[in-house]
């Protein structure tokens, strides 16, 4: 049994934490002792500077704990300039010297301590950093816009490249991610692979489904501006003109006040259900009973909820926002629409609602694609091969 370290974002909800849990379970099932290392940014109080100061004075630089049922080491997220943020994980000291290591991230920066120490690691990454920040900035995120203009921006780009350069194997989370990395750094192609997030297709599977088109579904962290829920609301208002009986169910987060306000302004109060967080035992049924899944994001490395929907046999209407374009086969398992175009999104939804037979055919095609390309056993085999390639007999 070998010690193993997984450098990642804070465990919890969302795509990257789900990837980290997947790697953690893989390493544990292979007989190793994994632990997650992360910057505890969500623990820093934001109500006042004094509260933040007290937090840093009373919190250990690095401490062991159990997080989301995983052994973890939380690193205090001290307020340092951006170019030094990822160096903070070096506070964990000996933990970083585990013989097996993985970096699981949205962008690659979290792996900087391993890259600087020249230790071998597998990198599983969702997106290029500038793609993520431009998506956030386009959605109105002032922090992302400021980061793109920050004096440390070029240093962050250099750090990102270094983590890619020194990875043993690079796993792009979607075909789009892999293509972007290869275009940016062509010399990395020999160690690039595409490994999509695994879905348990025995759990996420088709149900009886609705007898008639009943509700359209979106599941996402809708407080993230990149999810572009307002675009979906505007498109749905046009759909309701032709299908007044159809509802929209939005699950994952409680909506921002501005989202509720827009729904009211569009006279959708009786047509939109903001379901918030849905317990795991109810989550699959939410997909199985929907007529259609709609994904309106501005930018995505992948879009795990799209995978869940396809595994459940749902046709998908999705904006051309990055990751889903390599997963959803336009005209076969769903429809892809121009990014940010509410009219096009509405027309695509209407096109499918008018033809329930076509929706069933698309749903079946999506289900077949899911089983073939990202069923859990297939992806776990790909991950196992990546760790064996980097760590050999030690893994």
Give the pLDDT mean for 65-72.
90
What pLDDT is stored for residue 124 in this prediction? 97
CB atoms within 10 A of CB 212: 9
Give the pLDDT mean for 247-267.
92
What pLDDT is stored for residue 210 in this prediction? 65
Question: Tokens for 268?
Answer: 């959708």
> Quick check: 316 pLDDT over 60?
yes
Nearest to 75 by CA among 109, 38, 113, 112: 38
For residue 124, list its beta bridge partners.
104, 171
208 versus 233: the higher-pLDDT residue is 233
- Residues 191-205 have pLDDT tens digits of 999 999 999 999 999
CB atoms within 10 A of CB 134: 16
Whether 96 and 122 have beta carbons less than 8 Å apart is answered as no
How do strand 3-8 and strand 192-194 relate by DSSP bridges? unpaired
Domains in the chain: ranges and CATH: 3-198+375-394 (3.40.50.2000), 215-373 (3.40.50.2000)
Q: Which position has the token pair 């297709």?
A: 201
Task: In whole angstroms, give the CA distance from residue 60 to residue 64.
Answer: 10
What pLDDT is stored for residue 212 in this prediction? 55
The pTM for the full model equals 0.91
What pLDDT is stored for residue 139 in this prediction? 84
- Residues 274-289 have pLDDT tens digits of 999 888 778 899 999 9
Give the pLDDT mean for 18-47.
92
Whether 173 and 196 have beta carbons less than 8 Å apart is answered as yes
């Amino acid at each position: 049994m070998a010690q193993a370290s997984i450098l990642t974002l804070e465990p919890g909800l969302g795509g990257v934490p789900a990837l980290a849990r997947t790697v953690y379970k893989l390493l544990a099932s292979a007989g190793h002792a994994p632990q997650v290392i992360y910057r505890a940014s969500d623990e820093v109080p934001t109500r006042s500077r004094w509260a933040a100061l007290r937090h840093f004075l009373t919190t250990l630089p690095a401490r062991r704990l159990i997080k989301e049922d995983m052994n973890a080491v939380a690193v205090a997220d001290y307020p340092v300039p951006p170019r030094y943020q990822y160096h903070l994980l070096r506070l964990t000291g000996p933990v970083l010297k585990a013989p097996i290591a993985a970096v699981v991230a949205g962008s690659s920066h979290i792996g900087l301590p391993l890259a600087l120490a020249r230790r071998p690691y597998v990198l599983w990454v969702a997106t290029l950093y500038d793609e993520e920040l431009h998506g956030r900035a386009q959605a109105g995120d002032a922090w992302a816009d400021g980061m793109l203009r920050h004096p440390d921006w070029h240093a962050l780009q250099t750090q990102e490249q270094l983590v890619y350069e020194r990875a043993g194997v690079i796993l792009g989370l979607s075909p789009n991610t892999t293509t972007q990395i290869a275009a940016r750094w062509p010399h990395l192609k020999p160690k690039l692979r595409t490994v999509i997030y695994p879905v348990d297709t025995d759990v996420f599977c088709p149900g009886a489904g609705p007898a008639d088109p009943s509700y359209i579904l979106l599941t996402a962290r809708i407080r993230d501006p990149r999810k572009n829920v307002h675009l979906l609301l505007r498109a749905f208002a046009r759909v309701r003109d032709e299908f007044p009986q159809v509802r929209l169910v939005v699950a994952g987060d409680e909506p921002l006040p501005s989202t509720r306000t827009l729904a009211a302004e569009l006279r959708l109060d009786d047509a939109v259900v903001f379901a918030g967080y849905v317990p795991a035992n109810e989550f699959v049924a939410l997909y199985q009973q929907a007529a259609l899944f709609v994904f309106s994001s501005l930018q995505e490395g992948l879009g795990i909820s799209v995978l869940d929907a396809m595994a459940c046999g749902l046709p998908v209407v999705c904006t051309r926002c990055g990751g889903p374009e390599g997963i959803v086969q336009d005209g076969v398992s769903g429809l892809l629409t121009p990014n940010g175009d509410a009219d096009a999104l509405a027309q695509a939804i209407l096109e499918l609602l008018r033809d329930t037979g076509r929706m069933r055919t698309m749903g079946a095609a999506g289900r077949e694609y899911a089983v073939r390309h990202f069923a859990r056993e297939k992806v776990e085999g790909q991950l196992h091969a990546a760790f064996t390639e980097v760590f050999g007999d030690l893994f």
